Amino acid sequence: NAGVTQTPKFQVLKTGQSMTLQCAQDMNHNSMYWYRQDPGMGLRLIYYSASEGTTDKGEVPNGYNVSRLNKREFSLRLESAAPSQTSVYFCASSEGSGSGNQETQYFGPGTRLLVL
Amino acid sequence: GENVEQHPSTLSVQEGDSAVIKCTYSDSASNYFPWYKQELGKRPQLIIDIRSNVGEKKDQRIAVTLNKTAKHFSLHITETQPEDSAVYFCAASVYEKLTFGTGTRLTIIP
């Protein structure tokens, strides 16, 4: 049981390049999330998916797109990377009861992205 | 949207003393309040959480209190140990979305 996994662990991009960050969970969770973490700013929600086939914007969605490929996988895409997107990106998942009550979120190990 | 403020941003305590971190939230609909611990270069990990129908919860040396009227909640760590040194984040949840505080860097002085 690996929990939440992310690839790659580290990536360097040039401004304007594109890339996709991958996330997968093996806990049969319904909800999945993408966060970015910047120094002094905590974790900020980029996008989330309450269930397979649905996605919604979070606090900082500009410059990103997501795909909930199936129940296990939730990818984050940067179409044209900018230096402001240099950050550590965390994926998370939770059971997601759909009742409005939050369940524990479990985080992946993170992807460190540097945009030059 | 929800806004979570966390204080202090840094905290140093002598080993064996207690540490208290405080958070306030803005949305009265928030109903779940977790605390995460993050060690350098690692992922955030849940250490304790509390729901809005409970005023206090304790797990060994860690406790969390919630005051819904004042919209604030606190993390208490007693008998601190060197392994407690980390960054701690509070969060508040509305409709299954978490909003995080900006973190507290806790340093335990041997």
Please give the pLDDT value at position B35.
Answer: 98
Please compute the mean of the pLDDT values over residues A87-106 and round it to a whole number.
Answer: 84
- Which letter, b or e, does each residue of B6-45 get, where b requires 16 or more Cβ atoms within 10 Å of its Cβ? beeeebebeeeeebbbbbbbebeebbbbbbbbbeeeebbe
How open is the CA angle A56-A59-A63, to the nearest 5 degrees?
Answer: 80
Which chain A residues are within 8 Å of B101, Cβ to Cβ? 42
**Is residue A105 scored above 80 in pLDDT?**
yes
Please give the pLDDT value at position A24.
Answer: 97
Q: Residue B53's pLDDT band (boundaries 50, 70, 90)?
A: confident
Mean model confidence pLDDT for chain A: 93
Q: Residue A49's pLDDT band (boundaries 50, 70, 90)?
A: very high
Q: How many angstroms separate the CA atoms of B1 and B99, rounded?
A: 9
Is A29 exposed, middle or buried (CB count within 10 Å of its CB: 0-12, 13-18, 19+)? buried
Which chain A residues are within 8 Å of B98, Cβ to Cβ? 33, 43, 45, 102, 105
A98-102, B54-58, B104-108, range with the lowest pLDDT: A98-102
**Is residue B66 scored above 90 in pLDDT?**
yes
**Is residue A50 scored above 80 in pLDDT?**
yes
Distance between terminal CA atoms of chain B?
41
Contact A28, A106 (CB under 8 A): no
Mean model confidence pLDDT for chain B: 95
Please compute the mean of the pLDDT values over residues B7-18 and round it to a whole number.
Answer: 98
Out of A50, A100, A102, the one facing B98 most closely (by C-beta) is: A102
Determine the distance in angstroms separating the CA of B19 from the nearest CA of chain A, rounded to an integer: 20
Q: Is B51 on the interface with A (CB under 8 A)?
A: yes
Contact A110, A10 (CB under 8 A): no
Contact A74, A91 (CB under 8 A): yes
Residues 6+ apart with CB under 8 A from A64: A34, A46, A47, A76, A77, A78
Closest chain B residue to A88, measured at CA: B41
Please compute the mean of the pLDDT values over residues A88-116 and round it to a whole number.
Answer: 88
Which residue is associated with the tokens 């140093």? B12
DSSP-based three-state secondary structure for B84: helix
Q: Is B61 on the interface with A (CB under 8 A)?
A: no
| Per-residue tokens: A112 | 């460190």
Please give the pLDDT value at position A98.
Answer: 63
